[in-house]
Amino acid sequence: MPESIALHTKLKPGTEEEYADAHANIPPELVAALKDAGVRNWRIWRSGLDLFHVVDVDDYQAMRHALADHPANVPWQARMAELLEVQDDYSGEDTGIHKVWELA
């Protein structure tokens, strides 16, 4: 059964446009790698410098492990490291933001 994982990241000041441009042109090989790793959907919202992600994925930890050293993901993560305050380590050990409530 797929799971939905919420994440929070933060942009470095002044990188908002660059971040939007990067996400308007995600490399097809990265999209394929995400799908192959079980990602069904990934949505990102921005409020100021704060980014909120919701990832629908078959197995979040397995996806993170699969992408950690993937040749399509490594350059993308290097690019994101230039734009984000704190970069993920892709350990696969995190569980995202704790869900408090959901309207079923």
What is the band of 93 on the pLDDT scale with cuts at 50, 70, 90?
confident
Q: Does the structure show a pLDDT above 70 at 89?
A: no
Q: Which domain holds residue 66?
A: 3-83
**Alpha helix segments (H runs only) across 1-104:** 16-24, 28-36, 60-67, 73-83
On whether residue 30 sits in a domain, the answer given is yes
CATH code of the domain containing 21: 3.30.70.100
Per-residue pLDDT tens over the stretch 27-52: 999 999 999 999 999 999 999 999 99
Query: Is 67:80 a contact under the CB 8 Å cutoff?
Result: no
Segment 90-103 mean pLDDT: 83
Q: What is the pLDDT of residue 94?
A: 79
On whether residue 12 sits in a domain, the answer given is yes
Q: Does the structure show a pLDDT above 80 at 91?
A: no
On whether residue 90 sits in a domain, the answer given is no
pLDDT averaged over the chain? Answer: 93
pTM over 0.95: no
